[in-house]
Structure 1
Amino acid sequence: MAKITSGFRLPLTVVLLSVATLFSCNKDVKEFVSQYFQSEADPDGIRLDRDGNASTIASGDIGITPDSIRNIGIHYLELVPDAGTAYKNGIIIYRSAETFEGGEIAIDFDSLLFVAPGTAIFNANLRKIPPGTYSYIRASVACISYDMQIDLDDIPGVDEANDVPSTFYSFLGYRTYIRIIQGDSLTQEVNANRALGFWLLETKQPGSAWNKIFQSQVNSNQVTVVNELSGTAPIPNTTGVITGRFEEPLVITGEEPDDLYITLTFSVNDVLEVEDSNGDGNWDINYQFDVLSEVLKDHGLRSLRATFEYR
């Protein structure tokens, strides 16, 4: 069971290529140079639309930037040589497990590696990456969780509560099979596939008996999935695969003496876009979660930048 909490950790090292391939002879062992991937979330990052253009909040809506980022679960990574490289025609570095348990193929939520920002996701043998220049990168974030605050209305016996501490779970993979989500104090069973745009929110007001998990679905085609190469290498929005760029091209020669560290930085600048129907500048959710709740219109990540260094 995958539990996403601030203290949750899974093993950080995953060998992506088979042991037989990596260690088939002494030469491979001697020449093992590691490639590490880690992720960050930037609250001040550039905010783009799905075609990679600057994006602003629509009139009547508000943007919400999380107070903090808890964990990130990556499903897919691909190194992309140039702007004309089609989806899946680059070097696929990583793909997490998938399952047919929910009927259609889906990302297996329980198999995702959830790590805190700044923590290594996995490593692989750099020698197995074909020499060349890689200017872009593609990534699918299956799930990312945030700490934030909401206003809660019509609570039985309480009426309303403002600035309620909450954790928001954003599902951004093409489709994810979820069995159970264990929050800080509440559990939500799903046992089904959920499409790109699914979300849950757990309220965590200290000492309150009325804490609750809310869940809903934003239409997959309305969720922003940034593709900065949409003009030359289009990808269906429903894949959930973000395309971003290296700040400077990554050049692999095959002769690197040091380990390579690649950092993926996702923009969470106004990552939630909410219809602010009462104009108070906050996200108001009705406790009964009915039509009186303000509608979450989008929670897609807003850009991807990659940097690297040798150590």
Structure 2
Amino acid sequence: MRNLKVFFVLVLASVLFSCSDDDTILNSEPNLIVRFKFDPNQVRLNNIGQPSSIPAENAAQTPIFNGISAHYFELAPTAYTQLGNGTVLYHAPETDAGGNIAIDFDQAIVVDEGEAFLKIPLSQVAQGSYEYVRVSLSYQNFGVSILNNGINYDATVVSFVGFNTYLTTHYIGNNSFPVNGNRLQGYWAFALNDYPYAASGQSSGTTTVPNPIANTSPIPAGSCVVTGKFVNNLVINGTEKQDVEIELSLSINNSFEWNEVNFDGKYEPAAGENVVDMGLRGLIPSFRKN
């Protein structure tokens, strides 16, 4: 009799566990998941989304990306949808601690390639057909090569490309950069990877922000709202049972650009070669319904 009772208890436990597991599956809500990809071979675009070459007086290199952050994410139904009138799914924390309103970098989400940047329940995404993605990039962390006295060094660069960023103290490895204030688009810092040298500054040029629908839906000056078009519209109809994943493929094709002094294609800050552009060079969004 005792063995029979044990048997029934085990069977009941198995049934309850199975039901609980099934309920978890049935009650799990599908999400919209957004990830970044860095493509060194993707077409290099200018501010209006046209192919762009490097000016004769400049040189550039394709960096090795370590991480990225964004300030804003929006799905836009058409090329005539004005910025902010689409489905805005993310807006990063801001602060006025530095005076004017700025992105609060201490609360920024920084991700690697392929890591989920956003995960939003699909029930919170307005139903509709979306032709474009708009994402305001705010921070980049990447590796570049620097030439000094005939020797090549590997360095890590951080680039703040948002409209305005409030920074306390930020770091590259063991190197600290106390700011405690706002920095406008184009502020950067770098540190040599294996040598005790670091510096910071402000880009002397403009940050390229490709927007292929600039004629019908412009972006504010000084923002970094990169715009990209889906090959086929993303349709959210409210009946999705599984996750929808969006991949934002960013062109890093010669995206680190400077004004040449020695015209050797090498970045030589000690020779007075100033960074003029660290903008991403295009966005191609795609999606997958699992």
Class of the TM-score when normalised by the shorter of the 2 chains: 0.7 to 0.9
1:185 Cα deviation after fit: 2.1
Q: Match for residue 83 of structure 1?
A: 79
1:245 Cα deviation after fit: 1.3
Counterpart residue type for residue 171 of structure 1: F
Q: Match for residue 148 of structure 1?
A: 144
Q: Match for residue 176 of structure 1?
A: 165
> What secondary structure sits across from 1:254 in the alignment?
coil
Counterpart residue type for residue 250 of structure 1: L
> What secondary structure sits across from 2:55 in the alignment?
coil
Counterpart residue type for residue 304 of structure 1: L
* Structure 1 segment 223-302 matched on structure 2, within 5 A: 223-286=207-270, 292-302=271-281
Are the aligned partners of 1:31 and 1:127 in contact in 2 as well (CA < 8 Å)?
no
* Structure 1 segment 21-36 matched on structure 2, within 5 A: 30=27, 32-36=29-33
Q: Match for residue 44 of structure 1?
A: 41
1:30 Cα deviation after fit: 3.7
Is structure 2 residue 190 aligned with structure 1 residue 201?
Answer: yes
1:161 Cα deviation after fit: 5.4
1:122 Cα deviation after fit: 2.3
1:114 Cα deviation after fit: 0.7
Kindly provide the CA deviation profile for residues 86-112 of structure 1, in whole angstroms up to 9, marking residues without a partner as x: 000000011110000000000000101
TM-score, scaled to structure 1: 0.82
Q: Match for residue 156 of structure 1?
A: none
Are the aligned partners of 1:285 and 1:294 in contact in 2 as well (CA < 8 Å)?
yes
Kindly provide the CA deviation profile for residues 101-133 of structure 1, in whole angstroms up to 9, marking residues without a partner as x: 000000000101111111111211112212111
Return the alpha-carbon distance in structure 2 between the equivalents of residues 203 and 31 of structure 1.
Answer: 46
Return the alpha-carbon distance in structure 2 between the equivalents of residues 284 and 64 of structure 1.
Answer: 12
Is structure 2 residue 209 aligned with structure 1 residue 212?
Answer: no
> What secondary structure sits across from 1:258 in the alignment?
coil
How high is the sequence identity, in percent, across the aligned residues?
32
TM-score, scaled to structure 2: 0.88
Counterpart residue type for residue 218 of structure 1: S
Distance 1:219 1:238, change over 3 A: farther
List alignment gaps of at least 5 residues for structure 2.
1-25
- Structure having the higher helix fraction is 2
Kindly provide the CA deviation profile for residues 171-206 of structure 1, in whole angstroms up to 9, marking residues without a partner as x: 11110001111211211111110111111111123x
* Among candidates 133, 140, 164, match of residue 137 of structure 1: 133
Distance 1:31 1:186, change over 3 A: closer
* Count, aligned residues: 266
Return the alpha-carbon distance in structure 2 between the equivalents of residues 247 and 187 of structure 1.
Answer: 43
Q: Any runs of at least 4 consecutive aligned residues in structure 1 with deviations exceeding 2 A, and if so which?
A: 29-32
Q: Match for residue 151 of structure 2?
A: 162
* Structure 1 segment 13-24 matched on structure 2, within 5 A: none
Are the aligned partners of 1:225 and 1:237 in contact in 2 as well (CA < 8 Å)?
no
Are the aligned partners of 1:136 and 1:244 in contact in 2 as well (CA < 8 Å)?
yes
> What secondary structure sits across from 1:127 in the alignment?
helix
Are the aligned partners of 2:32 and 2:243 in contact in 1 as well (CA < 8 Å)?
yes
Return the alpha-carbon distance in structure 1 between the equivalents of residues 100 and 262 of structure 2.
Answer: 40
